[in-house]
Structure 1
Amino acid sequence: MKNLRYKISTIVIAIAAVLAIAGCKKGLLDQHPLNQITDETYWQSATDATMFATRMYTYMPQDNFVYYEGMSDNGISNDPTTRRFGNSTQDPTISSKEWSYEPMRQAYSFFTNVDKVPDMDPGLKKRLTAEVKFVLAYRYFIMTTLYGDIPLVTNLITDPTKADIPKSPKADIMKAELQWLDEAATDLPLSYTGADQGRATKGAALALKSRIYLYAGDYANAAAAAKSVMDLGIYKLYPSYFDFFQKDGDYSSEDIWSFGYTLSVHQNSLRDILGSQALMNGRNILDPTSELVNDYESKNGFYPYTKDPGYVATDPYNNRDPRLRQTILCPGDIYKYPYFPNINQYDPFNNQGDRIGGDLGSRSGYSWCKNVDRYDYVRSGVNNWKAFHYAEILLNYAEAQNEVGGPTADVIAALDQIRSRAGMPTIAQTFTTNALAINQTNMRTFIRHERRIELAGEGLRYFDVLRWKIGEQVMQGAIYTVDATDGITNISTANGHINKYPKTVIEQRFFNNAKFYVWPIPQLAIDASKGILTQNPLWK
């Protein structure tokens, strides 16, 4: 059966030859003439319009979004660019990751030309237009979140001499994003079936709206937008936290919008990026930090986990929040991967592939299992990248509503849904266990912690660090390996193996300047703009 990913690949192939011969002017917007693919020879049918709109989804978050974990205190990567953002040694020569106006050109090409399609069904035209607005809003959102003020394009630019335009304030661009999303939400359906699964829905538009308001600190509107998603009545948490991020959870009741992968057309790269070498044939490109591992509560809700009466130093991963070992492989864990049945224990001290310091080994002594397809072939994965899902909506609502009115019953109810799915004590039980009063300040701290744990491995922690302005606290100083000074009981010392590893510095991080809360404008874009585009003030 055809699916969204197949359609995307089809449209890419269909226009690739035309794009290859299209002329280009390297300006601040990287303007490319689009007349070769938007003239009367293309816009002949509803299929043409559908294919063009479908291509827009290639600009949405995909598997490589996980690299943002390595820019936060959740992860450490051997990818050079990711690592430099993680240790705050970035500069304008490497900051072009999200700087692209191609999505804007494509969006306005669609808006300009879709009316040329003869006899097109009005309902389909409205829906496709809404889908394009959804992607356009996301692209401006991600760029303004990282770069701040940027140029705002409001029409299709066909004259290369007019491609260089000045910045607009981030607040003005946010207004445009929200207007697009309001318009999109009106015309998008609640759900799709069959080959259309994976397209933007009303819930997806509202979910993005909630994230935009939350990141802007507009808590009243963030809470309202999140509540509008909840009130749709079609979303709920998937029963299993681990399985939701496998193929099982694709297009499930928790999946609001995800980027699709298939075995026959295109697999994801999550095994290579995240996976254990010995157990999964991955490459350990991105590893969890020991600080993230240490932030998980005990199973009984004690925080830190070492306060739990059941804590045993030589078995530190037992009796912990179940999400820990559904997210991260810890030394001594048994993880049965069907294609490598002979190696089941994660052992970064002795296993050749994962050994700390090895060519493909873990840097920290930990590896990921969340998001790594457990059931598909070597070096592939077909589970979707879950870009927006219901657990985030519940967390958005809880955080925003707590800022507006404190820890009301509905704030606690939203959090208890997440805690219940995880198999963790309720908010009331957890606060009692830790002798904490339920007030706005304590709830704010708890929500930030819960958000980190629930969304670990999804790339969102980096953006939370930026918006909460906590980089100096959590991204400064040494990053360490696992501390197995006392040994790990579950790892056998037979045949000359070891079960101990000293706490060792991996790298130093230097988040010591306010400029790291915003990315520098890429130097190539500035150089090409003839003085119109200026560098972010903190980076001058």
Structure 2
Amino acid sequence: MLGVSVLLTVVFTGCEKSLLTVDRHGSSVQPDLYYTTVQQCNTSTQVCYRYIDWDSWWQTFNWRYLSGEAASDNAWIGNTYQSSHSTYDVVSQYTIDAGNDRNESQWIQLYKGIGIFNSAIEGISGSPIDTADKQRFTGELKFLRAWCYFDLVRNYGGVPLVLKTYLPDTHLPRNTVKEVYDQLIADLKEAAAVLPLKSAYAPADKFRASKGAALALLAKIYLYAEDWADAETAAKQVMDMGDYHLENDFGDLWDYHYKNGAESIFEIQTASSQNPPLPSSPLYMMNSVADAGWGYYSVTSDLENAYLSEKDSIRRVWTINKQGEPVAGDPDNKSFDGRGYVPGGPSPASKSGRFCRKWYVPKAERPSNGLYSRDDIILRLADVILIHAEACAMQQKTAEALASLKMIRDRVQLPTDMSLSGWDLINAVRKERRLEMAFEGDRLYDLRRWKDPAGKRVIEDIFGPNGSFVLYNTKTSKDVFETNNTLEPQNKGIHFNPAVHLLWPIPNSEIVASGGVVEQNPGY
């Protein structure tokens, strides 16, 4: 594999037998007879954590950030010194087609992971090991599979549910969104019932899925399914279990050395598999070209304005590195250069002069060769608290929603209007989610799932010819960085069509390979 891979704290003696061969869909796996001891089953389960993220240079990880942020009002593609129209810009501009190679990689790699998890589940289920161990390993694998399916369903809608191994070139039709969610809910309930608390794991095993991780993902899936009552219940279970607490300082979460901390519920452990090592791709791609980065995913002035409107100075500086301003937590970078210059290329090299601080490493903490990696937190307590707040607000449980909202705002020293109710409260929770979770991969999906009082999707008011984000950038904005660099079009999002772009296209290669068994999403 190229690039950064997951670091497993285990000795892979004899482990090659558990690295299973899969076809391009991940639905055909030929396991060897390997699952005969607890050690073998444990090793095979741990190996599977490698495949939740695959090749984080070009595959699922970057696509998640690309589609979750750069196709939203939080980020531009950003890099204006290279031509990336065939891969990245088409997502930001909503001109993507079914032949996009990054979109295809997302689909293929997620299904490869699912195929490997299925094979491990089958191997462990037939193992002679103790039932409790068997249930725990299976619970971990079902959590990993659920995470991959969650990414699939929120990107593509209903997808084929592949829950066992099949002969090569077997193709299943798409299941409905409800069927996919129902399966994930069942799997995560089962996992939560058998997995240990995070606090019960030894330090070397903190990377493993826990009861809290299963319940946190379950709460998130309930939220997407608009099952407010069950989302509230699952989120509250996580909040009350005592395994997690909010870090006192919001900036501590983005410390380069922060790993599996008190607020982290589940994170991907990353380190380089290359010699010499390569950096974690987000750190490399999401930094200014003036600081050895590639200059992708630059922050919009629209997102900065959201922080300014709330006087949210703490999260603003820990989320945004801005041209000419000092970098939070880095005394060696007193004037961030977000514009950059590439010899022989257009100048400036960045659309907005802003990049995400959450993925920045202070200069003094970088290895001497300038290459570094950092864990990817994909579930944390603040997310769960905001799920609880939103689920309660949608049920008009005002006091409960306000209490959770206040917890998040208290940490960053912001007052909470305790008189909020109804849609004012719902919108306050939604804004808080943007401020807290920016550049953690959820923004696009939140905009797609949220509805206004009339049932219209919120994203329809933000993108399209008359969308607020499009009109801000083309009519209102005076931002000196963005308006003076039109190498990335200022009318980002103008091509959004709600009849098409609530989902991404199923890769055309999948449609062709399945002989039409897998059907395309409307409009592609």
TM-score, length of structure 2 as denominator length:
0.82
Secondary structure of 1:210 counterpart: helix
Aligned match of 1:417: 407
Aligned match of 1:249: 258
Which AA in structure 2 matches 1:188? L
Question: What is the correspondence of 1:209-358 to structure 2 with a 5 Å cutoff?
Answer: 209-262=218-271, 267-278=279-290, 280-298=291-309, 301=310, 320-335=312-327, 341=332, 344-348=334-338, 352=341, 358=347
Aligned match of 1:58: 50
Aligned match of 1:189: 196
Distance 1:180 1:290, change over 3 A: same
Aligned match of 2:131: 122
Distance 1:105 1:327, change over 3 A: same
From 418, 434, 441, the equivalent of 1:459 is: 441
- Sequence identity of aligned pairs in percent? 28
2: distance between equivalents of 1:145 and 1:400? 19
Deviations 1:292-327 (A, max 9, x none): 1111135xx46xxxxxxxxxxxxxxxxx53211111
In the alignment, does 2:499 pair up with 1:514? Answer: yes
User: Which shows bigger deviation, 476-485 or 373-382?
Assistant: 476-485
1: distance between equivalents of 2:126 and 2:204? 25
- Whether the aligned pair in 2 keeps the contact of 1:127 and 1:188 (CA below 8 Å) is yes
- Whether the aligned pair in 2 keeps the contact of 1:366 and 1:482 (CA below 8 Å) is no
Give the structure with higher Rg (CA).
1
Deviations 1:216-273 (A, max 9, x none): 2111111111111112122111112122122343211100000112478775222212
- Whether the aligned pair in 1 keeps the contact of 2:9 and 2:204 (CA below 8 Å) is no
Which AA in structure 2 matches 1:167? R
Structure 1 unaligned blocks of 5 or more: 303-319, 429-436, 486-499
1: distance between equivalents of 2:181 and 2:220? 12
Question: What is the correspondence of 1:122-161 to structure 2 with a 5 Å cutoff?
Answer: 122-157=131-166, 159-160=167-168
Secondary structure of 1:517 counterpart: coil
2: distance between equivalents of 1:263 and 1:96? 24
Secondary structure of 2:144 counterpart: helix
Shift of 1:4: 7.2
Aligned match of 2:513: 528
Structure 2 unaligned blocks of 5 or more: 451-456, 465-469
- Whether the aligned pair in 1 keeps the contact of 2:212 and 2:265 (CA below 8 Å) is yes
Aligned match of 1:86: 92
RMSD (Å), alpha carbons = 3.1
Secondary structure of 1:173 counterpart: helix
Secondary structure of 1:297 counterpart: helix
Which AA in structure 2 matches 1:127? R
2: distance between equivalents of 1:422 and 1:345? 24
- Whether the aligned pair in 1 keeps the contact of 2:142 and 2:191 (CA below 8 Å) is yes
Shift of 1:290: 1.2
2: distance between equivalents of 1:132 and 1:526? 28
User: Which shows bigger deviation, 195-204 or 506-515?
Assistant: 506-515
- Whether the aligned pair in 2 keeps the contact of 1:236 and 1:390 (CA below 8 Å) is yes
Secondary structure of 2:293 counterpart: coil
In the alignment, does 2:50 pair up with 1:39? Answer: no
Question: What is the correspondence of 1:493-508 to structure 2 with a 5 Å cutoff?
Answer: 505=486, 506-507=488-489, 508=491
Distance 1:234 1:348, change over 3 A: closer
Secondary structure of 1:76 counterpart: coil
- Whether the aligned pair in 2 keeps the contact of 1:372 and 1:381 (CA below 8 Å) is no
Secondary structure of 1:324 counterpart: helix
Secondary structure of 2:91 counterpart: helix
- Whether the aligned pair in 1 keeps the contact of 2:6 and 2:271 (CA below 8 Å) is no
Secondary structure of 1:199 counterpart: coil
Aligned match of 2:467: none
2: distance between equivalents of 1:399 and 1:446? 9
Aligned match of 1:96: 104
Which AA in structure 1 matches 2:48? M
From 441, 447, 461, the equivalent of 2:429 is: 447
In the alignment, does 2:186 pair up with 1:171? Answer: no
Distance 1:5 1:17, change over 3 A: closer
TM-score, length of structure 1 as denominator length:
0.80
Aligned match of 1:310: none
Aligned match of 1:383: 374
1: distance between equivalents of 2:372 and 2:402? 36
Aligned pairs, how many? 477
Shift of 1:524: 0.6
Shift of 1:104: 2.7
Secondary structure of 1:367 counterpart: strand
Aligned match of 1:6: 8
Deviations 1:357-380 (A, max 9, x none): 537x32112122113233232543
From 373, 379, 382, the equivalent of 2:361 is: 373
In the alignment, does 2:523 pair up with 1:539? Answer: yes
